[in-house]
Amino acid sequence: MPARPSAHDAAFYITTPIFYVNDVPHIGHAYTEVATDVLARWHRQRGDDTWFLTGTDEHGQKILRTAVANDTSPQAWADALVESAWKPLLETIDISNDDFIRTTEERHEQAVTIFLQKLYDDGHIYSGEYEGYYCVGCEEYKQLDDLMETADGDYAGQLVCKIHSRPVEILKEKNYFFRMSAFEQQLLDLYENRPDFVQPASVRNEIVQFVKQGLADLSISRSSFDWGIKVPWDDSHVVYVWFDALLNYVTAVGYGADDEQFERRWPAVHIVGKDIARFHAVIWPAMLLAAGLDVPKAVFGHGWLLVGGEKMSKSKLTGIAPNEITDTFGSDAFRYYFLSAITFGQDGSFSWEDLSARYQSELANGFGNLASRVIAMVTKYFDGAVPTTTLDEAIVTIEKRVTDAAGAAIDAFAIDKALATIWELVDALNLYITEQQPWVLAKDEADRDRLAQVLATAVHGIGTLAILLAPVLPKTTTKLWAALGGDGTVDQQPIDTAWQWKGTSAVTPLVSSLFPRIESSE
Ligand code: MSP
C-alpha cells in the first residue's frame, strides 16, 4: 500500500480519460467519472492541493465519419455534443472537476505542436510506410491477435475487432513513426521498480506481458483525412488521435505555456477503463520519457459495466443513459450504487433490482433512517439541544478505526472497500440504537444522563459518517450537515480525522427524507 501523504498540501492531480464525442454518454462513462470524482473529493477534503481534469476527445476518423453521416462538420458536431450531452453529464452525476479540456481548443493544439516538434528535433520520430489493420471504433492500429474472423452475421468471413465486433480497415500509408521500441527496457524497469505504477495487478500483469513480447514503433500520423492537429513540419499529415488525446493530461496543466502551473500539477494519477490501459501504461509513459518529462504517478484500470456479460456500449445498443437512473434515484444513489456494488478494478453487472434493493436497504433504511431517527429523538427529548456529556468510548473507537481504514482503502484505490468499511459504522450505530433503546431510557428520569450520552454519541457518529461520506454522497451529506448544525460545510471537514470532529450544540429536524421512498412504476 502506498504511504499516506505526510503533508496535507501534497499535490494530487487526477484525470479521467477524455471521452469521444461521437455519441452521448452512457452509465459506463459515468462510472469512470464518479470513481474519479470520489477520489478527487476525498483528497480535497484531506487538504491536498487537488486538481481534477476531465474533457473530450474530438479528433480522428470516428468523429469525422459521424459528423459526415449527420451532414455536418466535425467541429460543429463536437460543439453540439459537448454542450448538449457531455457537459450536462457532469451536472447529472455531480462531478466536481476543476477543468474541462477539449482537444480542439487552441491551448491544447498549440502545446501538442510544441511537444511533437521537440520529439522530432530530438530524433524520436522518423517517416516510414505503415501497412496493417486499423479499427476506427478503437482508433487503434491492430495486430492479428486483436482480431477474429466471424463465421456468421453481417460480417461473415471478415476480420473484425474483438472489442467492437466490426470489420477493421486495411491501411497502407506513408506515416510518421515514434521510436517507441527504444523505450521497451525503460518501461519494463518502470513496472519492476514501481509495482504501483499500473494497478490493479491483473492489468499490470497484462501490460508487462504485452511489453515483454517486444514493442514496435508507433505510427503517429495520418494523411488520408485532415480532421486533426497538423504535423508541424508536414501539413499534409495530422497527428494520430491517441497521440493527440493522451497529451491532454499535460496540455491542460500548462505544458509548453505555463511552467509554474505544470510544475505544480504534473505528474497525475490516471483513472481509465481497462480497455484503454495499454495506451496509458505503455504509449503514454514512452512519450513522456522521450520528452524528458515525469511519467504518471499511477494508472488505474477499472473494470467494465456489463450487460448480458458484455461491455455495455452504445455501438452495441446496450447503453443506458445516466439520467434514466438519476431521475428516479438521484445522483447520490447513482454514485453510491456503482462504487459500492462493484469491486473497483473488476467488471460488474448492473441491474435495476439490485439498485432498488441496495437503495432501500443500505441508503434509505441503513443510513437515512438512522440519521433522521437520531435527530428526531434529540429534538423530542432535548428540544434539539445536543447534550454536553462524555461519549461512549466503544462507538468512538469504531469511528476512529473506520476513519483510518477508509482512508487507507482510498489510497489503495479500493473505493468499494472504503464504503464497506464506512458501512460498518452505519451498522454499529444502528445496533447501538437498537440495544440502548433511547425511547425506553426516556421513560425514566433516572436514566436521563444515560439517554443524554447515548444520543450525544449517536449524533457524533452520524457527523463522522457525514464527513466520511461527503465525497460519495455530496448532496445528502450537505443536507444532513445542515440538520446537524455542523460548522462550515461538510466538504470542508478534514476527512483523515473525521472521528475527531468537535460535535454540535443543536440539531434541527430534517425537512425531508434523505432517501425518499421510490414509488414502483409497475
Ligand atoms: N477517447 C478515448 C480516451 C482517450 S484518453 C486520453 C476513449 N473514449 S471513450 O469515450 O470510448 O471511453 C472513455 C472511458 O469510458 C474509458 O475509460 C472506457 O473504459 C469507459 N467506458 C466505456 N464503456 C464502459 C463500460 N461499459 N464500463 C465501464 N467503463 C466504460 O476511450
Instruction: Kindly state whether residue 44 falls inside one of the protein's structural domains.
Output: no
Look at ligand 1, atom 18, and give the residue with the nearest C-alpha: 273
How far is Cα 95 from Cα 191, in angstroms, rounded to an integer? 31
Confidence of residue 204 (pLDDT cuts 50, 70, 90): very high
pLDDT (0 to 100) of residue 7? 45
Ligand 1 atom showing the smallest separation from residue 306 Cα: 26
What is the CA angle 321-322-325, rounded to 5?
Answer: 105
Catalytic choice (87, 174, 314, 316): 314
Q: Is 161 designated active site?
A: yes
Instruction: Kindly state whether residue 451 falls inside one of the protein's structural domains.
Output: yes
pLDDT (0 to 100) of residue 376? 97
Q: Is 311 designated active site?
A: yes
- Residue 392 predicted with pLDDT over 90: yes
pLDDT (0 to 100) of residue 324? 94
Protein residues whose CB sits closer than 6 Å to any atom of ligand 1 = 17-20, 28-29, 31-32, 57, 245-246, 248, 272-273, 275-276, 304-305, 311-313
- Tell me, in angstroms, the distance from the centre of ligand 1 to residue 164's CA: 13
Q: Is 164 designated active site?
A: yes
Confidence of residue 521 (pLDDT cuts 50, 70, 90): low
- Residue 194 predicted with pLDDT over 90: yes
- Tell me, in angstroms, the distance from the centre of ligand 1 to residue 28's CA: 7
Report strand pairing: 230-231 vs 221-222.
Answer: unpaired
Q: Is 460 designated active site?
A: no
Catalytic choice (43, 62, 124, 135): 135
Instruction: Give the range of the structural domain holding residue 492, as residue numbers without chain letter.
Output: 352-500
Confidence of residue 319 (pLDDT cuts 50, 70, 90): confident
Confidence of residue 78 (pLDDT cuts 50, 70, 90): very high
Instruction: Kindly state whether residue 303 falls inside one of the protein's structural domains.
Output: no
Confidence of residue 472 (pLDDT cuts 50, 70, 90): very high
Percent of the chain residues topping a pLDDT of 70? 97
Section 2-19 average pLDDT: 75
Q: What is the pLDDT of residues 398-415, one digit of tens each?
A: 999 999 999 999 999 999
- Tell me, in angstroms, the distance from the centre of ligand 1 to residue 17's CA: 7
Q: What is the pLDDT of residues 440-459, one digit of tens each?
A: 999 999 999 999 999 999 99
Instruction: Kindly state whether residue 337 falls inside one of the protein's structural domains.
Output: no
**Average pLDDT, whole number, for the chain?**
95
- Tell me, in angstroms, the distance from the centre of ligand 1 to residue 273's CA: 6
Which stretches of 240-283 are assigned E, i.e. beta strand?
A: 269-273
- When computed from its CA atoms, the radius of gyration of the chain, rounded to whole angstroms, is 26
Neighbour-count burial for 342-351, b at 16+ CB within 10 Å, e otherwise: bbbbeebebe
Instruction: Kindly state whether residue 466 falls inside one of the protein's structural domains.
Output: yes
Confidence of residue 152 (pLDDT cuts 50, 70, 90): confident
How far is Cα 164 from Cα 359, in angstroms, rounded to an integer? 33
Instruction: Kindly state whether residue 87 falls inside one of the protein's structural domains.
Output: no
Q: Is 400 designated active site?
A: no
Confidence of residue 315 (pLDDT cuts 50, 70, 90): low
Mutation test of ligand 1: which of 36, 61, 276 has the most ligand atoms closer than 8 Å to its C-beta?
Answer: 276
Instruction: Kindly state whether residue 107 falls inside one of the protein's structural domains.
Output: no
Contact (CB, 8 A) for 449 and 472:
no
- The Cα-based distances of 373 to 177, 376, 380, 424 in angstroms read 65, 5, 10, 18
Instruction: Kindly state whether residue 180 falls inside one of the protein's structural domains.
Output: no
- Residue 425 predicted with pLDDT over 70: yes
- Residue 234 predicted with pLDDT over 70: yes
Number of domains in the chain: 1
| Joined grid coordinates for residue 441 | 431510557
Catalytic choice (59, 62, 280, 311): 311
Confidence of residue 497 (pLDDT cuts 50, 70, 90): very high
How far is Cα 507 from Cα 382, in angstroms, rounded to an integer? 10
Q: Residue 484 maps to which CATH number?
A: 1.10.730.10
